[in-house]
Structure 1
Amino acid sequence: MPRTLEVVAREVVSARTDWSPARRAAVTVAAALQLGLLAAALQDVLRRPADQLTAPKAVWTAACFVNFVGPLSYFAFGRRR
């Protein structure tokens, strides 16, 4: 019998409640860092003139949504000096 979305969701929530406090803290910090990098990179892409970027804005905007790698790549390689 196939599992319903409700059953899968219940299992995911149940698994997260079994996490140790240290693991919860680590995931929370990582998520906050990821969201902060995403927000900063998107803000910079959208405010910076297109001629100061190494690729089109659409490319960098999409790349920013790749966890950690996208925003860090943008800050390292996406801006002209």
Structure 2
Amino acid sequence: MATRKTYHVTHVNGHWQGKLEGAERASVTSDHKDEAVAKTVEIAKKNLPSSVRIHKLDGTIEDERTFMDDPYPPKG
């Protein structure tokens, strides 16, 4: 089983970026959060299994989207 890749969408220096955890450079940059999230999700879906952690302006995690092999699937 492949190791899950985790991407983070964060606000840095006045713009939003999508970046693979541990990477030096951002994969995605945008002035708009929605655009950065959409592009980062697109990249994550191409690199399964993966997840995208979407952060608020203050750095706390707002949402997490997991693609393939969700360790905490919802009940029901």
Q: Which has the higher strand share?
A: 2
Q: Which has the higher helix share?
A: 1
TM normalised by structure 1 equals: 0.28
TM normalised by structure 2 equals: 0.30
Higher gyration radius (CA): 1
